[in-house]
Amino acid sequence: MDGVGGLRAIIAGASSGVGRAVALRLVKAGADVLLVGRDADRLKELQYAAGGGDVLATDLSLPDGAERLMAALGDRPVELLVSTVAVAPLAFLATTTRAQWENALTTNVIGTASLLQAVVPRMAPAGLLAVVSSESVGQHRTGLGAYAASKAALEDMMGTWRTEHPGLRFTTVALGGTMPTAFSQGFAPEVAAVAVNDWASRGHIQEQLMHTDDVADVLTGVLVSLIGAPGVGVPRIELASPSAVAGTTAHLRKVEQPVTRT
């Protein structure tokens, strides 16, 4: 991967999923990467697998999380920030608890705001800050009301950061269904069954999900190419599976080809 050697990057949410996969690629390509996440053991395993990177185990949703990050950064400018930090409670709105709302908003919105407050003053000119959102924003998916609302707030916040800090490049990555990730960990099976069936009936789920490694390859490649083109900003990136919406083309695949006789 060209243009990565010496690049200073922060990957928040590096302990699992897309964040881990992006961090692995950047470290192996020669970037100077700060691996940020809540799980120290997973971060150390990533550090070993990648063959480098600095580890910072901290919870950015807590008041001291951003302070610990600022202390770890020092004075050297940062060229790239990628944040995949998120929690996704799966619950119908009528039964979503206050604790679930607070966890989603504190982690997905306030935690990201604190992360950006810590990193923006340390960004290099024309630096790039990419934050992962979700395709569920605006889809009104059953069971994901609190999660989607928090991501909608996140996206609006990113637009305001862009307005208030011209010259820096703020990118929102709307990510479609991807596996394996930690997204569905903790989903109650009985709620998930109802929710997934409803998503399918409304055309909100595709027959095949994207693979985490493929997403990381594309996302890392795009972001690194943008680092090399400081005059180009990409406010929004959308990554989604190209497969059909679940159930919509089954009849086409079952059509038999006519037999030609000679």
- pLDDT tens digits along 35-57: 999 999 999 999 999 999 999 99
Q: Are 17 and 38 in contact (CB under 8 A)?
A: no
pLDDT tens for each residue of 200-212: 898 888 889 999 9
From the CB of residue 43, how many other CB atoms can be counted at a distance below 10 Å?
Answer: 23
What is the pLDDT confidence band of residue 261, given thresholds at 50, 70 and 90?
very low
Q: How large is the average pLDDT for residues 208-225?
A: 96
Q: What angle do CA 123, 126, 128 make, to 5 degrees?
A: 65
Q: How large is the average pLDDT for residues 124-152?
A: 96
What span, in angstroms and rounded, lies between the C-alpha atoms of 73 and 67? 10
Residue 251's pLDDT is 45
Q: Give residues with Cβ within 8 angstroms of 22, minimum separation 6.
A: 11, 14, 82, 84, 216, 219, 220
The one catalytic residue among 147, 170, 183, 199:
147
Please tell me whether the peptide bond between 180 and the residue prior to it is cis, using omega within 30 degrees of 0: yes
Q: Are 156 and 114 in contact (CB under 8 A)?
A: no
User: Domain spans of the chain?
Assistant: 8-243
DSSP for residue 205: S
Residue 249's pLDDT is 55
Q: How large is the average pLDDT for residues 214-228?
A: 97
Q: What angle do CA 22, 23, 29 make, to 5 degrees?
A: 95
| 48 in catalytic set | no
Under CATH, what is the fold of the domain 8-243?
Answer: Rossmann fold (3.40.50)
Single out the residue of 145, 39, 34 nearest to residue 81, CA to CA: 34
What span, in angstroms and rounded, lies between the C-alpha atoms of 132 and 139? 17
